[in-house]
A = this chain, B = another copy of it.
Amino acid sequence: MSAIQNLVSHFDRYLSLDDVESKALTSRLTERKIKRKQYILQEADICKYFTYVVEGCFKMYGVDKSGTEHNLLFAAEDDWISDLDSLHKERPSKLFIEAIEPSTILQISKGDLWYLYTNHPKFNRIFRVITEDKYIELQNRLLQTYSTAASERYESFLEQYPNLANRLPNTQIASYLGITPEFLSKIRNERSGK
């Protein structure tokens, strides 16, 4: 299956696209290969694209004043990633988006996305649902962050992203959980002891 067919069938899961819509979409997508450790967004840049991950894996993170990275989220195959704040408000991003694995992506520019929204209303519905789902993810993550200890958040992470848990280095998971890799190792140790 080609990268673009991949995305069209992704959309079909929400609402099926007719030929006109499908063509309007695919003609506006750019396919890119991204190397490991390559950025598709850097702090202070303005985010220009909404990115669909065909293959590989990305992390989006911020860096605090002491230089520590904090992973906000990961995106692997069949997922979307973008700094919506920077993309929509056209302000400099506070975040980095970096490939953790060699990856293939499809990107649509802000202008092209706006074109779709205006001329093919169905995309509003599809992206409304996508954004709602992302919102729900963040809300649950925030609730967890405030109401449970690191060890429990690790358990939830394992349940929610069993495939990512295998693929990601523990340093990255620790950054996502808001702890040091050493402490994650301690948690894993206690956990396996049980």
Contact = CB atoms under 8 A, between A and B. Distances in A.
Contacts of A147: 62-64, 68, 70
Interface string A61-72: 011100010101
Given A84-B136, A139-B85, A142-B142, A124 B131 contact: no
Interface residues of A, number: 36
A121 interface: yes
How many identical chains are in the complex?
A: 2
B140 A141 contact: no
28 contacts: A62-B143, A62-B147, A64-B146, A64-B147, A70-B147, A72-B142, A72-B143, A72-B146, A83-B139, A84-B135, A84-B136, A85-B139, A85-B140, A88-B132, A88-B136, A94-B143, A117-B125, A121-B122, A121-B125, A124-B125, A125-B128, A128-B128, A128-B131, A131-B132, A131-B135, A135-B135, A142-B145, A145-B145
Interface of A: 62-64, 68, 70, 72, 83-85, 88-89, 94-95, 117, 121-122, 124-125, 127-128, 131-132, 134-136, 138-143, 145-148, 178
